[in-house]
Chain A
Amino acid sequence: MPQARFNDALIAKGQEVLDAMRFASPALVQAVLLSDDGFEVARTPRMSESDGRFASMASSVQALSEAVVHELRSGTGDEMIIQASQGVVIQARVGTRPAVVSALFGTDESLGKCLVVTRRATATLEEAFASGAVSIEPF
């Protein structure tokens, strides 16, 4: 369930963007928009079970990947890819916001398509943040 700590506009926009990812790629198994500190903002499919654990793990992985990039002085960590035997997890920060999209795709999708779909999602969310339509400030 999306957390009540986030405002309705962010939850609605997040849901819209994640649903658009599913439309763009039928291979999308699940996608979550999460806050940097590991709380779920929105998810698709909407009815899937969630105890928030995936969002917590995704935030830890995001932070560790960015720590590695920082340690290696390799700029900023734009995307993280976990290739599994039965799918691929793509994770990307929304611009410079404290928000991340994490998506699991099945094997019947090319990595390039997975990346494009995820990039479009984060770009759309970043536009919404930049325009002031949504924000992630804690209550």
Chain B
Amino acid sequence: MAEHVILVVGPMGAGKTTAIATMSDIETVKTEAVNTERNVVDKATTTVALDYGEISLGPSEKIRLYGVPGQKRFDFMWQILKARAVGMLVLVKNDAQDPKADLLRFFEEFKEIHDRGGVVVGVTHSDVQPFPSTIDYQRLLAEHYPGAVAPVFTIDPRNRDQLVTMLSVLAASVDSRAMFSGR
């Protein structure tokens, strides 16, 4: 069975923990703590180490999902986790103060995963704030990373079908990259 390690990255409050819990076939491992930064993002808890879940895409493909903490102060966890990932799902919170900057920041931080595997972008909270649009994000990435391949979707992290579709696109991208590189 082919197994891939996929990271779910993005700023605090983008829906990473929810997305992994929605996708996972197993009970997820969570490391949530009481959030004392309610002035920054108004949510009760925040991930301080990782989230972990698993999902099978068909009988021969299994995805191990790792969610990273969204805050920069936990970047030592980013270093640990990105070393083992072949794909990445970037979640962007569309009603954040500057979601475009968030996307560029996380794309740059984890760019090595794009270079060796694949990336997809999921835009959350677009029901609250419809802009930037998916096309805006595609243009942004094309402008800053010419040649980068990173499909952009609007998603609800509670919607399993949407997430699985996005994950399947990512897995196909990783598989084709591996095939062409002979891995």
Q: Are A38 and B29 in contact (CB under 8 A)?
A: no
The stretch that binds B, out of A15-23, A49-57, A108-116, is: A49-57
Interface size class, chain A: 20 to 34
B183 — which chain A residues lie within 8 A by C-beta? none
B9-50 to A contact mask, C-beta < 8 Å, 1/0: 000000000000000000001111111111100000010111
Of A60-68, A74-82, A124-132, the one contacting chain B is: A60-68
Residues in A with CB closer than 8 Å to B32 are 63
The 8 Å CB contact of A56, one of B37, B39, B50, B76, is B76
Q: A56-B76, A60-B74, A138-B37 are in contact. Are A37 and B29 (CB under 8 A)?
A: no
Say yes or no: is B77 at the interface (Cβ < 8 Å to chain A). yes
Q: Does B144 contact A (CB under 8 A)?
A: no
Residues of B within 8 A of A136 (CB): 34, 36
Q: In the complex, what distance in Å separates the CA atom of A5 from the CA atom of B36? A: 8
Q: How many residues of B contact A (CB 8 A)?
A: 20
Chain B hits for A60, CB < 8 A:
31, 48-49, 69, 74, 76-77
Is B76 in contact with A37, judged by CB distance below 8 angstroms?
A: no
Q: Given A5-B36, A59-B48, 11 more contacts at CB 8 Å?
A: A36-B33, A36-B48, A56-B74, A59-B49, A60-B48, A60-B77, A63-B32, A66-B31, A67-B29, A136-B34, A138-B39
Residue contacts A-B, CB under 8 angstroms, 8 given: A37-B34, A37-B36, A38-B33, A38-B48, A63-B33, A98-B34, A138-B34, A138-B37
Q: Which 4 A-B pairs have the closest CB atoms?
A: A63-B31, A36-B33, A60-B49, A138-B36
Residues of A in contact with B (beta carbons under 8 Å apart): 5-6, 35-39, 52-53, 56-57, 59-64, 66-67, 71, 98, 136, 138-139
